[in-house]
Amino acid sequence: MIVGIDLGTTNSLIAYFADGEPKIIPNRLGKHLTPSVVSVDEEGNVYVGETARERMSLYPDSVAQTFKRSMGTEREYNLSGHKFKPEELSSMVLRSLKEDAEAFLGEEITEAVISVPAYFDDKRRKATKRAGELAGLKVERMISEPTAAAVAYGLYDRTKDTRFLVFDLGGGTFDVSVLELYHNILEVRAVAGDNYLGGEDFTAVMAKLFLQKSGLSLQSLSEKEQVRLYRQAEKAKCDINDTDKVTFGFLYKEETKEAEISAKEYEEACEELLMKIREPVKKSLADAGLKLSDIDEVLLIGGATRLSIVRDFLIRLFRKFPDTKLNPDETVALGAAVQAAMKERREEVKEVILTDVCSFTLGTEVVVEYEEGKFEDGRFCPIIERNTVIPASHTERLFTVRDNQDKVRVRVLQGESRFARNNLYLGELEIEVPKAPKGQESVDVTYTYDINSLLEVEVKVVSTGRSQKMIIKGQDNQMTDEEIQKRMEELAYLKIQPRDYEENRLVLLRAERMYEEALGESRKKLDHYITAFEAALKRGDHDEIMDARQDLNEVLEEEDK
């Protein structure tokens, strides 16, 4: 079976297709959402999800989150003396999801369709593929998040032609895609977005408001206090959806600081973020050659679209109510599962042709003549423009610029800048040409880009017919199959905590965190129930452990109100 995975910035999900529909697979705690958080202790034990998130309050140096924002970069995270790249941390989340799916379905999972933001460039997409491979998954196909959302909404089964805009505001990334459905073809017309904008930024605004009102500064807080601040800010951000104001409480150096924040104040403080949302919407429509009035439907996905200030802003912007019939947290995973069923050629799924677009322009570096006899090198020559429907193949003829030039080098670049140095380098090849006066010899450079983000580059010498090809599977630091296998073996010493221990460990971590945050009688009460639960764990009686855990959970819920 092939599963569908939404590898998110804040939360990740895994889904499968059965009984004619996609279904979310619950994790080991029985929940649909697995926080994209990883913690590693000094013994090399790995904690993923809620357990890792709870450890953040107690051991902030051992925890990493929002690492999806750094996918495809050389950034390293140091967790308890162990260093990891973003794709390695992502692989631990994927491995945890894979284990949960195998336990739930009772069979081995070896392949997955993984969703990626539409605005992820080649480097980030290939890092995502490597993360899947490090988790022991074959990843032959990735699907852009907006396309997955469109499939999940059932648009592939509609009879009416529809133009729609998918607005995807997740925890850490933001995508806008314009799609069109006609007959059985689902075509992406244009994409735009921001890989560094999401719900986490709206949480940061709430935290900043509290600091301003309480007279504190972020620099004055310890790491543990900063974690507690953002935890409370996240809660206040969600609570303000249903009320005109919230009271933000925060324990600072054994003293509870409180501040009242109104919905109006919060919306005004978020104005800059809302303006950043507007630009990709305008850009995607302009690239698609459409006006707002041409859009039949607006679909909301991503957990941050639950924020009332975001929804109100979108209603004003689009002058219509968006479609919110599906859970915005689960839509992408469900769509990825449908895509997985299509890949398996399941009879229950009506086959639909999915077309995507290049998120960024693909081209090469050239020398240009800006005045007669005056040349400037380092300029970018587009070959496949951004938002070109893929698969696509385009050819550009380039000429020699020096007398007796005997070689032509083609540097493969991705980006939108006029200058080659500002664009992403993907690879290069070189071919020999006959010596001749400048401008008399030429090469045809053909780029062919397919739906799986593989780019084939062919350079053909016009006068001799000699050609040379290369396939850009990745770019800087692309790992070979052997290197991936070696790194998997190196990571094998890291053991994800057993499923049976997860719930007990999570309850204890939550209790320890709340004990640190409590004072007076609340602290004494927590200590009593924590001690009773630890004693039951030592005795090892299953029924006694369940009773003590239930008692402790009830106290935690009561104290966390």
Residue 527's contacts (CB-CB under 8 Å, 6 or more residues apart) are 515
- Looking at residue 297, its amino acid is E
Cβ-contact 221, 230 below 8 angstroms: no
Q: Is 204 exposed, middle or buried (0-12, 13-18, 19+ CB in 10 A)?
A: middle
d(CA 381, CA 137): 37
Where do the H-state alpha helices sit in 74-121? 86-105
253: which DSSP letter? T
Q: How many C-beta neighbours within 10 Å does residue 319 have?
A: 9
Q: Which of 277, 86, 264 is nearest to 174 (CA)?
A: 277
Burial pattern 330-369, b for ≥16 Cβ within 10 A else e, equals bbbbbbbbbbbbbbeeeeebeebebbbbbbbbbbbbbeee
Active site residue 68: yes
Catalytic, out of 99, 121, 133, 168: 168
Decide if 481 is catalytic.
Answer: no
Q: Phi then psi for 124, rounded to 5 degrees? A: -70, -35
Both tokens assigned to 129? 């593929």
Helix, strand, or coil (residue 353): strand
Q: Count Cβ atoms below 10 Å from residue 428 Cβ, excluding itself.
A: 15
Q: Is 146 exposed, middle or buried (0-12, 13-18, 19+ CB in 10 A)?
A: buried
In a 10 Å sphere around its CB, with 0-12 CB exposed, 13-18 middle and 19+ buried, how is residue 79 labelled?
Answer: buried
- Confirm if 481 and 7 have CB atoms less than 8 A apart: no
DSSP secondary structure, 10-27, as one string: SEEEEEEEETTEEEEPP-
Q: Are strands 297-301 and 255-262 parallel, antiparallel or unpaired?
A: unpaired
Which position has the token pair 């698969």?
A: 391
Q: Which of 397, 413, 411 is nearest to 360 (CA)?
A: 413
Which helix or strand (DSSP H or E) is residue 422 part of? none
CA nearest to 295, candidates 167, 163, 181, 155:
163
Q: How many other C-beta atoms can be found within 10 angstroms of the C-beta atom of residue 72? A: 24
Which one of the listed residues 87, 145, 225, 502 is annotated catalytic?
145
Has 121 been annotated as catalytic? Answer: no
168 tagged catalytic: yes
Active-site choice (68, 85, 98, 123): 68
Alpha-carbon separation of residue 206 from 265, 267, 335, 536, 542 (angstroms)? 10, 10, 32, 40, 43
Q: Catalytic residue positions?
A: 6, 68, 145, 168
